[in-house]
Chain A
Amino acid sequence: MNYREVITIIAELLKGQLVVCANGFISRETFTISDRTENFYMIGSMGLASSIGLGVALSKPSRKVIILDGDGNLLMNLGSLPMIGSLQPKNLLHIVLDNEVYASTGNQPTISNVIELEDIAKSAKYAYIKKVTTDEELRREVVHILENDGPSFLLVKISDKEEQREIGRVTHSPEEIKERFMSAIAEITE
Chain B
Amino acid sequence: MLKSEDFAQELINSGYDFFTGTPCTIIGNLIATLTERPDITYIPAVREDAAVGVAGGAYMAGKIPVVLMQNSGLGQCLNALTSLNLIYKLPCLLIVTWRGFGNKDAPEHLVMGRICEKLLDTIGIAHHTFNPDNIKVLINMSYKLITENNEPLALFLKEGVID
Contact = CB atoms under 8 A, between A and B. Distances in A.
B23 interface: no
Name the interface size band of chain A: 20 to 34
Contacts, number: 110
Interface string A163-190: 0000000000011011001100110000
B154 to A, nearest CB: 18
B60 A185 contact: yes
Q: Say what secondary structure dominates the interface of chain B.
A: helix
Interface in B43-74: 43-47, 49-63, 65
A127 interface: no
Nearest to A60: B61
A46 B47 CA distance: 14
Contact of A177 (B61, B79, B88): B88
A52 B45 contact: no
B84 interface: yes
Contacts of A174: 87-89
Given A45-B79, A59-B63, A51 B18 contact: no
A178 B88 contact: yes
B88 A59 contact: no
B85 to A, nearest CB: 9
Given A178-B89, A178-B90, A59 B79 contact: no
Contacts of B88: 174-175, 177-178
Interface string B25-59: 00000000000000001011111011111111111
A40 B59 CA distance: 13
Which among B44, B57, B62, B63 has the highest number of chain A CB atoms within 10 Å? B57
The 7 A-B residue pairs whose C-beta atoms are closest, nearest first, are A55-B57, A44-B83, A51-B53, A79-B46, A59-B61, A48-B53, A55-B54
Given A51-B57, A55-B58, A80-B50, 15 more contacts: A43-B87, A44-B79, A44-B83, A44-B84, A48-B53, A50-B53, A52-B53, A55-B54, A56-B61, A58-B61, A59-B62, A77-B49, A83-B54, A174-B87, A178-B90
Interface of B: 18, 20, 41, 43-47, 49-63, 65, 79-80, 82-84, 87-90
Interface of A: 20, 40, 42-48, 50-60, 77, 79-80, 82-83, 87, 174-175, 177-178, 181-182, 185-186
15 contacts: A43-B83, A45-B53, A45-B80, A48-B53, A51-B52, A51-B56, A55-B18, A55-B56, A58-B41, A58-B57, A59-B62, A77-B50, A83-B46, A174-B89, A185-B62
